């Protein structure tokens, strides 16, 4: 399980997203203000490491 969202690497192209999406974008601001670790903990039991692709 990922310990925090800073270590989450969604894509090898994240640097492109940083260039294309403006720094003052509302979704960026929400991501900085909201701690999503509780959601990750709640969803941990929904994914299986030994069956198919593991999303988390």
- Given this model, what pLDDT does residue 25 score? 93
In a domain, 30, yes or no: yes
- Given this model, what pLDDT does residue 8 score? 58
In a domain, 6, yes or no: no
What is the secondary structure of 8-50 as a DSSP string?
A: ----TTHHHHHHHS-TT-HHHHHHHHS-THHHHHHHGGG--TT
In a domain, 28, yes or no: yes
List, in order, residues 6 or more apart from 36 with CB less than 8 Å away. 5
Structural domain including 34 reads 17-47
**Low-confidence residues in the chain, pLDDT < 50:** 1-2, 4-5
């Amino acid at each position: 399980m990922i310990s925090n969202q800073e270590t989450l690497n969604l894509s090898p192209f994240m640097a492109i997203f940083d260039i294309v999406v403006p720094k003052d974008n509302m979704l960026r601001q929400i991501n900085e203000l909201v701690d999503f670790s509780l959601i990750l903990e709640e969803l941990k039991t929904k994914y299986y490491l030994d069956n198919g692709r593991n999303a988390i």
